[in-house]
Structure 1
Amino acid sequence: MTVFLSFRGEDTRTNFVDHLYQALNQKSIHTYKDDQRIKKGKNINDELIRSIEDSKLYIIVFSKNYASSSWCLEELVKIMECQRKNEHTAYPLFYDVEPSEVLKQKRAVAEAFAEHENEEAAGKWREALKEAATADGHEATFIKQIVEALSLDLRSIGFNIDEKLVEMESRIKEVASSLGEGFDDVRMIGIKGIGGGGKTTLARAIFDQIAIQFEGKSFIENVREVSNASLFGLKTLQNQVLSDVLNDKDFSVSSVYDGKHMVKRMLHDKKPGSRIIITTRDEQVLVAHRVKFIHDDNLLSDKEASFLFNGYAFGREIPIQGYEDLSRQVVRYAAGLPLTIKALGSFLCGKNEPEWIDALDRLKTIPLAETLKKLKLSYIGLEEDHKEIFLDVACMFKGWQKDLAIATLEICGFHARTALKVLEQKSLITNYDNSDSHKCLGMHDHIEEMGKNIGTKAIKCIRFYTNKLNPYTVVKGLGKMKELRFLSVVFGGHFCNTESDIVSPDFPNALRYLEFNQYPFRSLTKTLLANNLVELKMAHSKVVQLWEGGERKVFRKLRFLDLSCSMLSILDLRLTPNLEP
């Protein structure tokens, strides 16, 4: 956003205009001040015309000799022409001259204009002077008043938003409602959400909107990456903050410790009102810093996602003819995540239909690397047991009732309630109510995809449902999964046990939860240790005795047992001393 300064150099350049120009620059208001204009020329050049057209605001500094310059008058005609368009605004300032003198061209202004009386353009120049003198601007004496008034107007005109991000204005208004009025206090606002969900874009738009009202401002991106990049990462961030806020690009701190105290000392005398906007995936970061205003950055709706994707893929709001269904498939895959939408839109831009189809087929088996990399950052920072539970949710517990998932995870030896809360705070899982108003575990499709991509390296949980495969096929190889701790095998059909005398299958000794309905064997294998099992469910099974060969192993940790509708007729409770009712 540019402000254009129109003035008569010999009257004001070395005093009023120079001070005004410096004050505007200190406010980071980009200002065009033409110091190289040809004084005796009558026609302003094309570059100057473009500068006027590209500017949104104009400051016209009327002085006693302003009207003596045909160059200034031509500038004024062009400015007023742009002023008639809604997106341009002119502000007349009167330096050592009265507004009525400009309006009616009297006294000093009349004397300055006298030499133009016979000019062909005299008529349009007079009209421009009248129009400018009556413009809805500011008749201000002090530069500070001018700059403050201009800052407020700049705020209302607009700010930098990715034009492809539809509905951004409503999101900005929602967060801006927490900013308060006047900015005389210190307030922190948090924006929390999934990686790649558009938090930084939203924060940047808000920053661009309000920054003009602050004496110092700084926008720090990629804090994690910069701070972890090297030993000097935090110093780099401190230097940027101080350089930006103090408007001193050569500023440098000697150490992180000195930088911390320097920030406090050098910013102490700045205007006290401030706004700090923090974006994070981890809500606990905001809670720990006592941030009262926390906004969840919601994912895009289908409509928003379609507009965004089409903007990147086709450069327009709707797909080109013949690509409507393919576009819908891409948007469905992206599941409202801006990072994925933009990446796929940019990748597919300009490609033909077979290439689109190939890309979509690839996504079914190979997730988008850029998305997985971004999402994996939240996983990397987890404690080891929380990583395990995250992978369990991604691979199996997504969609489960929360209470049931907690109970099952506790069986596996985890502190599940705390862990699930942490995962929720870090935007890795969500909670939602199902049709029966039970709380269930949710997870974004791409986070699930990321988790499964990690989890396949060492399988620890299996939940298997089938009404087609033979149970004997299912159990093959289970004994080789040494780290398997959760196994749930549910058959939807009925299988005749024609192989009941076959030796029982090997189960890994790490198992803590074993569910196997319609278990087709007569017992558990001798090789299975009884030390770890906490829950055993074998309803409708062919079990006639717990242990193969009449072994009497004790289930010391077993708390839950379900052998309903099985062929077991007698159970020695001494083998299960810790069963719960």
Structure 2
Amino acid sequence: MKDLYLKINIGENDVRIIGICGMGGIGKTTLARLVYNQMSHHFESKSFIADIREVSDKCGLVSLQKQFLSEIFHDECFNFFNVLEGSDIISHMLSRKKVLVVLDDVDNIQHLKCLVGRHDWFGLGSRIIVTTRDEHLLQSCQIDDVYKATTLNLEDALQLFNLKAFQSDTIPKDDFIELSNQVVNYADGLPLALEVFGSFLCGRDATQWRSAIERLKRDSNKEILNKLRISFDGLVEREKNIFLDVACFFNGEKKDFVMKILEGCEFFPDIGIDVLVKKSLIKVDNNNQRLWMHALLQEMGRKIVQEKYVDDLGKRCRLWKEIDIHHILTKNTTTEMIEGIIINSKVTEMIESTTIDNKRESSWMLNLSADIFLKMKKLSLLKVLCLSNCDNLKYLSNELRLLDWKGCPLRSLPSSFQPDNLVALLLPYSCIEQLWKGNRPLNKLKMMNLEGSQNLIKTPDFTTALNLEVLIL
């Protein structure tokens, strides 16, 4: 809060427009309301316009302008019918008035243009605070400074949760200590989640808490996910695909690597990643090395994928959940709609536990049939992160951009496979002797890793691999 007050700096006799940005549910409106309540007595007039995105969609910009003016001039009636006229009235009537204005949940530059077009629309000493999820929107306007709201640290998160769950900021006793920590860890510092969970659990006993926490692991809280989804719904299709790929496959991965794959998918990640960062949907760590997504945003993204085909797992475009992959592999219900799949050791454990009289072996081995990927014609991302066995794979999609299969048991890739679209071929410690016979087009290939593949007798012809950046043999 101290940094925000320093940016607002009501002691200076100038006009300042300050932005507060961050992901949904992080507390932007709460911060703005707190500032508004504490500072409003320093100003001649004040206005707090809440839910601007929603009000604008339902009632239009002129209605917003009338609401704004009515809150400043209580005894006046305003009759105008177009935005330009409203803007003229605002600039004329407020140019000599010291006001405090909060514009909450702005998602369109037109909101700012029609309500706070320029600094000289307001009298000296005025302060305008804008809350938004979109940092780029603030950068596009004459914003003087931006305060980036962050998630709460563990201590503050626990204090907020306790206030809601126990109506006290003191540490709970007995069973509730561990249960509270579980909920706080799940919320991952997001104030909205802490408040919703705390209010729901307030007054319930420990048994009910345990039941609620187990249910939460399976069925996410709709109120929270719907709030987070607002930003996703405002994306264009390619940006949505980038978000979903990060949520399902690439959270925590190196940015440079992910950018290469997404570029191969023709998602234009240079601009797409920037849009997601500016909309507070993903972050890039301080060293610009890895992409990071809040746990609840990741859960929201994965929920979007799951909800499209609730009962038909084979029709989902992305598969990462062990129980779902276990189902399609054992029931052979794959379809051509699958575009990405990640198979890890937990899938192997589930398959082994159902095929060997529930007796688990010390070394898990995933047995893949020769035609396991035959129906996956659109498969572009394949990651196999477990020990596997496959004697003679018949088919791999020519749409593959990423093939990541450590310890791949194949001696060669399927003869029908054409790596025209392949960006990254990662087969370390594999049984590969020769990737394929003859020359294959490698125009998009940027990374190849065959480290530790001791059976390798011949490398491919790299004549067409003009974009190759990383080669590990």
Structure 1 position 373, deviation (Å): 0.6
CA shift digits 1:50-72 (9 cap, x unpaired): xxxxxxxxxxxxxxxxxxxxxxx
**Which of 449, 455, 465 pairs up with 1:567?**
455
**Aligned amino acid, residue 326 of structure 1:** L
**Which of 204, 228, 242 pairs up with 2:69?**
242
- Quickly say closer, same or farther: Cα 1:385–1:215, change in 2 above 3 A: same
**Which of 349, 355, 359 pairs up with 2:212?**
359
Secondary structure, aligned partner of 1:561: strand
- Quickly say closer, same or farther: Cα 1:283–1:528, change in 2 above 3 A: same
**2:378 is the alignment partner of 1:487:** no
CA shift digits 1:1-46 (9 cap, x unpaired): xxxxxxxxxxxxxxxxxxxxxxxxxxxxxxxxxxxxxxxxxxxxxx
| Residue correspondence of structure 1 range 258-273 to structure 2 within 5 A | 258-271=85-98, 272-273=123-124
- Quickly say closer, same or farther: Cα 1:475–1:195, change in 2 above 3 A: farther
Secondary structure, aligned partner of 2:367: helix
Counterpart residue number, 2:13: 184
Structure 1 position 527, deviation (Å): 4.2
CA shift digits 1:137-161 (9 cap, x unpaired): xxxxxxxxxxxxxxxxxxxxxxxxx
- The 8 Å contact of residues 374 and 395 in structure 2, kept in 1 or not, is answered as yes
**Which of 130, 134, 139 pairs up with 1:287?**
139
**Which of 557, 562, 566 pairs up with 2:444?**
557
**2:420 is the alignment partner of 1:531:** yes
Structure 1 position 555, deviation (Å): 4.1
- The 8 Å contact of residues 471 and 520 in structure 1, kept in 2 or not, is answered as no
Secondary structure, aligned partner of 1:177: helix
CA shift digits 1:126-181 (9 cap, x unpaired): xxxxxxxxxxxxxxxxxxxxxxxxxxxxxxxxxxxxxxxxxxxxx1x331212234
In 2, Cα distance between equivalents of 1:374 and 1:345: 17
| Residue correspondence of structure 1 range 306-385 to structure 2 within 5 A | 306-318=158-170, 319=172, 321-385=174-238
Identity across the alignment (%): 38
Secondary structure, aligned partner of 1:480: coil
**2:239 is the alignment partner of 1:386:** yes
**Which of 45, 52, 55 pairs up with 1:226?**
55
**Aligned amino acid, residue 478 of structure 1:** F
- The 8 Å contact of residues 526 and 551 in structure 1, kept in 2 or not, is answered as no
- The 8 Å contact of residues 476 and 505 in structure 1, kept in 2 or not, is answered as yes
Secondary structure, aligned partner of 2:8: coil
Structure 1 position 523, deviation (Å): 2.6
Counterpart residue number, 2:130: 278
Secondary structure, aligned partner of 1:239: helix
In 2, Cα distance between equivalents of 1:560 and 1:336: 37
Structure 1 position 347, deviation (Å): 1.1
**Aligned amino acid, residue 210 of structure 2:** I
**2:165 is the alignment partner of 1:301:** no
Structure 1 position 575, deviation (Å): 7.8
- The 8 Å contact of residues 486 and 512 in structure 1, kept in 2 or not, is answered as yes
Larger Rg: 1
- Quickly say closer, same or farther: Cα 1:559–1:179, change in 2 above 3 A: closer
In 1, Cα distance between equivalents of 2:190 and 2:446: 42
Higher relative CO (Cα under 8 Å, sequence separation at least 6) belongs to 2
**2:473 is the alignment partner of 1:473:** no
**2:275 is the alignment partner of 1:425:** no
In 1, Cα distance between equivalents of 2:371 and 2:194: 41
**2:337 is the alignment partner of 1:442:** no
- The 8 Å contact of residues 458 and 483 in structure 1, kept in 2 or not, is answered as no
**Aligned amino acid, residue 279 of structure 2:** K
**Which of 308, 317, 321 pairs up with 1:458?**
317
**Which of 403, 421, 424 pairs up with 1:514?**
403
**Which of 543, 565, 578 pairs up with 2:432?**
543
CA shift digits 1:440-476 (9 cap, x unpaired): 2222111111122223442133344438543433887
- Quickly say closer, same or farther: Cα 1:350–1:181, change in 2 above 3 A: closer
Secondary structure, aligned partner of 2:291: strand
Structure 2: tracts of 5 or more residues without a match? 99-122, 307-315, 319-338, 349-362
- The 8 Å contact of residues 435 and 460 in structure 2, kept in 1 or not, is answered as no
- The 8 Å contact of residues 432 and 440 in structure 1, kept in 2 or not, is answered as yes
- Quickly say closer, same or farther: Cα 1:326–1:535, change in 2 above 3 A: closer
CA RMSD of aligned residues (A): 2.7
- The 8 Å contact of residues 264 and 423 in structure 2, kept in 1 or not, is answered as yes
**Aligned amino acid, residue 523 of structure 1:** S
- Structure 1 residues 334-343 or 472-481, which shifts more? 472-481
- The 8 Å contact of residues 314 and 320 in structure 1, kept in 2 or not, is answered as no
- Quickly say closer, same or farther: Cα 1:569–1:312, change in 2 above 3 A: same
TM-score normalised over the length of structure 2? 0.76
Secondary structure, aligned partner of 1:308: helix
**Aligned amino acid, residue 368 of structure 2:** T
Aligned pair count reads 397
Secondary structure, aligned partner of 2:384: strand
In 2, Cα distance between equivalents of 1:282 and 1:315: 34
In 2, Cα distance between equivalents of 1:211 and 1:531: 63
In 2, Cα distance between equivalents of 1:181 and 1:485: 54
Structure 1 position 483, deviation (Å): 3.6
Counterpart residue number, 1:580: 468
TM-score normalised over the length of structure 1? 0.63
- The 8 Å contact of residues 411 and 513 in structure 1, kept in 2 or not, is answered as no
Structure 1: tracts of 5 or more residues without a match? 1-170
CA shift digits 1:302-357 (9 cap, x unpaired): 22222221221222223355422212211111111111111111111222222211
Secondary structure, aligned partner of 2:302: helix
In 2, Cα distance between equivalents of 1:285 and 1:554: 43
Counterpart residue number, 1:174: 3
**Aligned amino acid, residue 458 of structure 1:** C
In 1, Cα distance between equivalents of 2:176 and 2:279: 37
In 1, Cα distance between equivalents of 2:305 and 2:454: 34
